[in-house]
Amino acid sequence: MAEVTVYTTSTCPWCLKLKDFLQDEGIPFDEVNVGLDSAGAKRMVEITGQRSVPVTTIGDQIIIGYDPEGIREILNSSEG
């Protein structure tokens, strides 16, 4: 399975929803709280060109916002 990283903040309700989705689906992920991790925040902006969260990276694919179907689609295509 491709490596999944989720960029979040502590106050973002969509971030919480995304993390709940990933946990419910049994999808392992690394979390970078950009509110607490300035290097992580800089990396997220370099990758996406924006500061809004949540952002999910799956390998070299980027999903901006809460998009469970997009995440499933990328993970399913990377398993094939």
What value, to the nearest 5°, has the Cα angle with vertex 14 and ends 27 and 48?
Answer: 80
**DSSP letter string, 2-46:** --EEEEE-TT-HHHHHHHHHHHHTT---EEEETTT-HHHHHHHHH
On whether the CB atoms of residues 60 and 35 are closer than 8 A, the answer is no
Residue range of the domain that includes 31 = 4-79
Q: What's 63's domain CATH number?
A: 3.40.30.10
pTM of the model: 0.92
- If one counts the domains in the chain, the total is 1
**DSSP β-ladder status, 4-8 and 61-64:** unpaired
Residue 80 has pLDDT above 60, yes or no: no
- Distance, in Å, from the CA atom of 55 to the CA atom of 64, rounded to the nearest integer, reads 5
pLDDT digits (tens, 9 = 90+) for 5-59: 999 999 999 999 999 999 999 999 999 999 999 999 999 999 999 999 999 999 9
